[in-house]
Amino acid sequence: MSSVQDTFKHNRARKNVMAGGAIILICITLLSCVSSFMIYREGFADMGERFQNLLAFFAVVVVEGAFIWLVYGFTRAFSSFLERAISFGAMWGLATVMLINIITHFMLVKGIGLNSFQQAWVAWGAVAVFIGVLIIVLAITLADPIIRLIRLELRYQGRQQETILEAKTAGLSSDRIQSAMATRAEYEAGQLATKIMGGAARGLPSHTNAIGFSPGSQSTNLHYISGNDDEPDPKDYRR
């Protein structure tokens, strides 16, 4: 019983530690947000005060939001080695950016002279972080194993359909298809001949029909023409 209680106590203690760590991360991130906002704000001074503050806020969301997204993804969502490797390196890189912003902001407020690196950071380094965040997000998105599985599934479907079409194309030249085409041609020829003969019988003159010529009596007519029997009685014509 004591082992079960110790297990539950350990789980509660672990949850408390995780909650405490999350609170510390949130506080440091908020502190970095203030410093980043003041540094990025000066870069948009030509846009007017309203847009200046808005664009600076977007810049803070890009940097600090990317850090929170990477921490959450590394601990909860990212499963492949490539995803975790990219997010691990990116988290430390963004943490360094946050540290530089905080130190530079404090030095600017206190009037302490910045060194050459900090001057370059304020001039163009902090803005270059946006492109770095874009590359990180793009790399993790492309490394998503679900997207890779979708690509493989689409490739499989494409190869399957291509193989089926090639088989159908090759089947058109087979002996079976050629025989079926010949059979169909004979059938169509027979249908056409029947149609032609039927139209010819309907188009014969009336006096020809009077002597008994019809599609069903061709043999009788030929029998009369051959002369093997006597000529028909003229009374038959009158009838």
The per-residue pLDDT string of the chain (239 residues; one tens digit each, 9 = 90 and over) reads: 466 566 666 677 778 888 888 888 888 888 888 888 888 887 787 777 788 888 888 988 888 889 999 998 888 888 888 889 999 999 999 999 989 988 988 888 888 888 888 888 888 888 889 899 999 999 998 888 888 888 889 999 999 999 998 888 888 888 888 888 889 888 888 888 888 888 665 555 554 444 444 444 444 443 443 444 444 554 444 44
Among 2, 130, 109, residue whose Cα is nearest residue 59: 130
81, amino acid identity: F
Q: What is the dihedral of CA 160, 162, 163, 166, to 10 degrees?
A: 160
Name the DSSP class of 74. I
Neighbours of 55 (CB within 10 A): 16
**Nearest by Cα to 121 from 206, 39, 13, 225:** 39
Residue 89 is predicted with a pLDDT of 93
CA 180 to CA 208: how far, in whole Å? 41
pLDDT of residue 214: 46
Helices 126-142, 49-72: crossing angle, 10 deg rounding: 40
| pLDDT reported for residue 2 | 62
In this predicted structure, what is the pLDDT of residue 88? 92
What's the predicted TM-score (pTM) here?
0.59
**Other Cβ atoms closer than 10 A to 105:** 19
pLDDT value, residue 212: 44
Nearest to 197 by CA among 214, 221, 183: 214
